Amino acid sequence: MSYIDIVPIGRIEETTLISLKHNLIKAFKIQTRIRNCPIDASAVYDPIRNQYNSSGLLVQLIKDIPSGTLKILGVTELDLFIPIFTFLFGEAQLNGPGALVSAHRLHNPFYGIPEDEGLFENRLLKESIHELGHAFGLIHCFNLRCVMNTSTYVEEIDQKSSNFCRACEQGILHWKNEHLTD
Rounded-to-integer distance, Cα 21 and Cα 27, Å: 10
In sequence order, what are the beta bridge partners of 32? Answer: 4
Instruction: Decide: helix, strand or coil at residue 159.
Output: helix
Judged by beta carbon, residue 148 or residue 157, the one nearer Zn ion is 148
Rounded-to-integer distance, Cα 67 and Cα 172, Å: 21
Judged by beta carbon, residue 113 or residue 173, the one nearer Zn ion is 173
> In angstroms, what is the minimal distance from the CB of 115 to Zn ion?
25
**Residues with Cβ within 8 Å of residue 61, at least 6 apart in sequence:** 7, 9, 37, 39, 72, 74, 98, 100
Residues near Zn ion (CB under 5 A) are 141, 143, 146, 148, 165, 168
Which residue in the list 91, 117, 131, 178 is annotated as catalytic? 131
Judged by beta carbon, residue 60 or residue 151, the one nearer Zn ion is 151
117 catalytic per annotation: no
> In angstroms, what is the minimal distance from the CB of 148 to Zn ion?
4
> In angstroms, what is the minimal distance from the CB of 80 to Zn ion?
13
Catalytic center residues: 131
